[in-house]
A and B are shown apart, each in its own frame.
Chain A
């Protein structure tokens, strides 16, 4: 069995290389915010994957559109606008307390953080309830035709993000009640960051599902 015998002496280093400490990092902060935190990058990664998922649904929507003469198809009423529009407004409004609790979290201001988180939770729970009603605003069952399937797919795909974000925010409010919330502040700030994404990504979906059938 050949081992290391044929390796020239200048490169064969059998022993572990010694490490000589020259810099001390014990005074570096343990709590930082934004892109300095790994969870910010992790959240961004999941956003990329979720945006890709939604884009696949939206692409399917426009792809299937080519198979129909009328959109929505004949004998299928267009979706109602009232509930989805209210829901969209509530979602956008929920970003105000999100912004405020993120700001409070960056100041380590526990009462303000918790207060604004509750406000956000209430608005998000309302938005989630409205989203459930939105499915009936589509005015068509998912199995009626391909139009119905793709419209349901877009709304449902985003619904999972909304539900996840709402549950996460509720979880964070509970976490913030714990005795030593300090290390959770960056996570709370990122929760708001995720909400911005979740609402922003809904806008093109809203336009696609609710407005496009009326325009084309």
Chain B
């Protein structure tokens, strides 16, 4: 069965009068329920992604505050602002929150907000699962910070090396809180990854064949596949760690044949790809911004897509370069050094494609584009400092010194946070309907850009000078005082820059100029709808005729009609060519995802204290899932058309 053309007279009619009533009908069907109940039961991808973005920013702010406290402590030698125990909890929860509660959830939330609009659909593929993922993430984050605020914050470092994190050297519940936080965030990350992949594969607007998918969407698909493979490894590792601690298994206990290096393999097999899991979405955001602000499509589309895919693959072959200081075979070390160098090739291809785009376009350096330039600069310094670490003999000198925090902050702030802030300025008008102030935007950009360099370049030098990481103080005659003070002044600049950013957001929300649908002259479909996008995204699903959906067509976009307006129906298309294939009814708002997440939360948190928690919580989770799948009454007027496979 295939889609049929709309008769000409109906086309003409739909252009003017009835379209208003279509908007109203769809609004009634797709909007969230009223009040707090409506908020708790929402299954709308934009509502959930937006609260997830705000949650991730809140964790970013908390973790940033921790960093500020640490910089105050290190600003001068023999400072007594923080004690060693508090300091350990701060750097552990800072790193863990930034990686697991900010970076990954943030890039996934940006994807869950924009991917459906960019590919021309009305919601993500599994709306209830999406809500469940958010609640799970929220519980995991609250658990970690509850630990910190009750002096039970994890204190073993964000990569939780055994034997330090094992039962012998870390008694109490601190490490268990860390391990369960990992489980929560892994569930959420895997759920979000599946949402993104399936939504992109099956719900693209007709005509958006795979070779027309926006680069931003490609980046999110590559990231999601990486999440599917990498995250289970850290979830398994943290489960093993928790079991070593709770029920006396021997996975990492050397005395009983266990292996501390096993932990490092499992952890870094996840955590190296993790860097690229947050970096590749940055490439996607940068690609969107570069195209719009150079006013031409990105040069070398196929090369950029293939580069992102190959970065995804290569990133799984690099994990051992985090373990150069462990007794590994020489051949292995050489292999991983070579593989580490190889990833420069696709990264370089991508950066040259952007430079070619800017070079051959008509670039305009508004705030989002400034962040792109800042990203290229910082990421280059980050990459160059990484070259030192990729060399085994140099790594042996630098490992566990302050060089490491310097390097990772250049890479992550450059590769993820700067693209993210660029994206924030770029898409803020779409999400809120209001423009941000360019003047404040530029002020905050320069404060942040200078702040990053003043904070982290001294850390690279401190590392070379031999200052170990994760020490809460140092003696005056080490000579590290001046560089540490400089770094702390840089951190203050960063804080001021972030404050200006927050002021800009608040001012713009209250009194920003109205943005209209398409303030930047964008390339992709999100700029075809009003700002903010309506709950149903598109009154009619658009039909795409080229790679640049909006630049290929001027005037009215061709679209699809015939989806029901009295219920939540979405169009599914074929995976490769995005031809209309079937219709699918989406669920209405429901509280069940929240209940299921609470049941999972009870299971994992109770389980920290008593294994019986796993049994009781597991049973409750099953009840919640049964309610989830329970048959619902078919709505009157349902017309099922079955296509039986041959």
Contacts and interface: CB of A to CB of B under 8 A. Distances in A.
Interface of A: 1-4, 6-8, 10-39, 41-42, 45-46, 48-50, 52-53, 56-57, 59-60, 63-64, 67-68, 73, 106-108, 142-150, 152-153, 157, 167-168, 171-172, 175, 178, 180-185
Interface string B497-532: 000000000000000110111111100000111100
Nearest to B435: A3
B328 interface: no
A53 B232 contact: yes
Nearest to B645: A33
A56 B580 contact: no
A17 B516 CA distance: 11
Nearest to B512: A1
Contact of B582 (A18, A28, A59, A67): A28
A38 B129 CA distance: 13
B640 to A, nearest CB: 5
Contacts of A10: 521
B1 A28 contact: yes
Contacts of B585: 30
A125 to B, nearest CB: 15
Contacts of A52: 228-233
B126 A42 contact: yes
Contact of B583 (A13, A29, A49, A64): A29
Contact of B250 (A22, A146, A178, A185): A146
B439 to A, nearest CB: 7
Pick from A24, A153, A175 the residue with the most CB of B within 10 Å: A24
Given A1-B513, A28-B583, A108-B644, 11 more contacts: A4-B519, A17-B527, A17-B557, A24-B4, A29-B583, A37-B584, A38-B202, A42-B125, A45-B228, A143-B248, A146-B253
B644 A41 contact: no
Interface string B147-190: 00000000000000000000000000000000000000000001
A1 B438 contact: yes
A56 B237 contact: yes
B521 A17 contact: no
A126 to B, nearest CB: 20
B4 A27 contact: yes
B249 A152 contact: yes
Contact of B641 (A23, A29, A167, A181): A29
B45 to A, nearest CB: 14
Given A28-B582, A31-B640, A150-B251, A21 B540 contact: yes
**Which 9 A-B pairs rank lowest in CB-CB distance, beginning with the nearest?**
A11-B521, A26-B562, A14-B516, A21-B561, A146-B257, A45-B194, A52-B232, A29-B643, A2-B438
A36 B572 contact: yes
A73 B257 contact: yes
Interface of B: 1-6, 10-11, 14-15, 19, 125-126, 129, 190, 193-194, 197-198, 201-203, 206, 228-233, 235-237, 240, 243, 247-251, 253, 256-259, 262, 265-266, 295, 364, 366, 435, 437-439, 512-513, 515-521, 527-530, 538-540, 542-543, 550, 555-564, 571-572, 574-575, 580-585, 622, 626, 629-631, 634, 639-645
Pick from A21, A39, A60, A167 the residue with the most CB of B within 10 Å: A21
Nearest to B257: A146
A13 B585 CA distance: 33
B641 A31 contact: yes
B198 A45 contact: yes
B259 A63 contact: yes
A42 B521 contact: no
B240 A146 contact: no
A186 B559 CA distance: 29
Contacts of A7: 364, 519-521
A27 B253 contact: no
Contacts of A175: 629-631
Given A23-B4, A32-B643, A38-B202, A147 B257 contact: yes
Pick from B10, B257, B295 the residue with the most CB of A within 10 Å: B257
B118 to A, nearest CB: 14
Contacts of B233: 52, 56
Contacts of A107: 644
Contacts of A19: 19, 528, 538-540, 542, 556-559
B247 A142 contact: yes
A53 B236 contact: yes
A171 B232 contact: no
A27 B247 contact: no
Contact of A57 (B236, B513, B631): B236
B228 A48 contact: yes
Nearest to A22: B558
Contacts of A2: 366, 435, 437-439
Contacts of A63: 259, 262, 265
A6 B233 CA distance: 50
B561 A24 contact: yes
B627 to A, nearest CB: 10
B40 to A, nearest CB: 24
B575 to A, nearest CB: 7
Given A36-B581, A41-B202, A16 B641 contact: no
Nearest to B530: A16
B3 A16 contact: no
B253 to A, nearest CB: 7
A5 to B, nearest CB: 10
A172 B530 CA distance: 42
A56 B236 contact: yes
A146 B232 contact: no
A157 B557 CA distance: 50
Contacts of B251: 60, 64, 146, 149-150, 153
B257 A143 contact: no
Contact of A23 (B229, B519, B520, B543): B543
20 contacts: A1-B435, A2-B435, A12-B519, A13-B521, A20-B14, A22-B5, A22-B6, A24-B561, A25-B3, A25-B580, A26-B562, A30-B641, A41-B197, A46-B194, A49-B190, A56-B233, A59-B266, A64-B262, A106-B644, A144-B256
Contact of B560 (A25, A41, A45): A25
A182 B519 CA distance: 46
Contacts of B364: 6-7
A7 B626 CA distance: 54
A22 B543 contact: yes
Contacts of A48: 228-229
Contact of B259 (A39, A144, A146, A148): A146
A30 B585 CA distance: 8
B550 A27 contact: no
A108 B203 CA distance: 26
B640 A182 contact: yes
A24 B5 contact: yes
A32 B573 CA distance: 12
B297 to A, nearest CB: 13
Contact of B1 (A4, A29, A73, A152): A29
A25 B562 contact: yes
Given A36-B582, A148-B250, A3 B513 contact: yes
B580 A23 contact: yes
Pick from B203, B528, B631 the residue with the most CB of A within 10 Å: B631
Contacts of A68: 257
B508 to A, nearest CB: 8
A179 B639 CA distance: 15
Contacts of B253: 146
B189 to A, nearest CB: 10
